[in-house]
Chain A
């Protein structure tokens, strides 16, 4: 009797709406995405009947095209990442990283930083849990640098607004910075600059077994991720693209060339310094920066600015103050900032 009920619930779970709906929506998504430019043109020129030569037309059509495009990409990727992340947990990552040597540990930690569920508000419990279970300090830092810097929202926005090359560049150089910065911090033997109490904390056993999740549960986690992330950032995306559209339509060509162009050597460090306090608005800042790039800013400067906005945040540094002495925070911020500046110069030099 019991078995039968179990079978039935299993069957209904497998073919639940949760899985069928996204499968049905996927082709609709691709069709819409594919014809978005045509739909935009139709709305702007046929429906509203705007004049091609006007500044306003450029701005309006930019906005009508980019907002749905970025939000559609964001929804799809956040959903997929939500499912992927359900296979990873900080506990599992900690087990993998425990006792790993420098370098190998740094490489692993940086990659795991991308896929492990992470929220900067949990940075401290995570730091304590890692250090307590014997993950080396430098390896822990690789994780803490990669996790916020290479997040799905940033990568989607870069992909949607700049193209896959820039998104890939951002991801790979971000990973390199996380690996190398963590490696350097590990080599410097800075354990003495971790607050003493950290080493005396007793991390208990949470007593929960690894949950056995069905695929349907994982799909639910994908939906939760959409609700949580897209629900939070969509407004910044819309506002950012609105400002970007204004710049796109009204700011003259080459306006930014002097300020954020290649020729001015100081543009990269300034971009990094400006980026640090701007953390919470990364989703809104990327579209603005994209428009600036079109007006003559250089790619290296723009990348450096973005990495600084997303990867180096003032609130996170303040949170870390609870577990780290100020010397270690300065080294951490300094090493990452230098890494970002090198990336900035490198790309200004290449392109």
Chain B
């Protein structure tokens, strides 16, 4: 599984990335987390607010840091 965090370095982007790393560690989930900061790349996902969260190439949220439970649910659904 592959998770992407789309963001150019705003504070929410950083906290989302940190949160993901913690969650993955805590729940022993086998994923690859990639930070995407290239604007052209980010715009391909059609978002106008960062951070964006992409799981297996599917955008699941943008503009906010989702709750832990919600993130775990998305990961579960994508498995």
The chain A residues found within 8 Å of chain B, CB to CB, are 90-91, 94, 117, 119, 121-122, 124-126, 128-130, 132, 197, 201-208, 224, 322
**Which among A90, A122, A129 has the highest number of chain B CB atoms within 10 Å?**
A122
A206 and B11 within 8 A (CB): no
Complex: chain B residue closest to A93, CB-CB: B48
Give complex CA distance A207, B53 in Å.
13
Give complex CA distance A205, B15 in Å.
25
29 A–B pairs (Cβ distance < 8 Å), ordered by A = A90-B48, A94-B48, A117-B49, A117-B63, A121-B10, A121-B11, A121-B12, A121-B50, A122-B48, A122-B49, A125-B42, A128-B39, A128-B43, A129-B48, A132-B43, A201-B39, A201-B43, A202-B43, A202-B44, A203-B44, A204-B43, A204-B46, A206-B46, A206-B59, A207-B58, A207-B59, A208-B59, A224-B64, A322-B39
CB < 8 Å neighbour of A119 from B10, B46, B47: B10
A124 and B8 within 8 A (CB): yes
A125 and B48 within 8 A (CB): yes
Interface size class of B (residues with CB under 8 A): 20 to 34
Beta-carbon contacts under 8 Å, B5-52 to A:
8-13, 39-40, 42-50
Give complex CA distance A213, B59 in Å.
19
Complex: chain B residue closest to A205, CB-CB: B46
User: Which A residues touch B64, using CB under 8 A?
Assistant: 224
Give complex CA distance A129, B62 in Å.
14
Shortest beta-carbon distance from A66 to chain B in Å: 28
Give complex CA distance A202, B45 in Å.
9
Given contacts A206-B59, A207-B59, A224-B64, contact A124 B46 (CB under 8 A): no
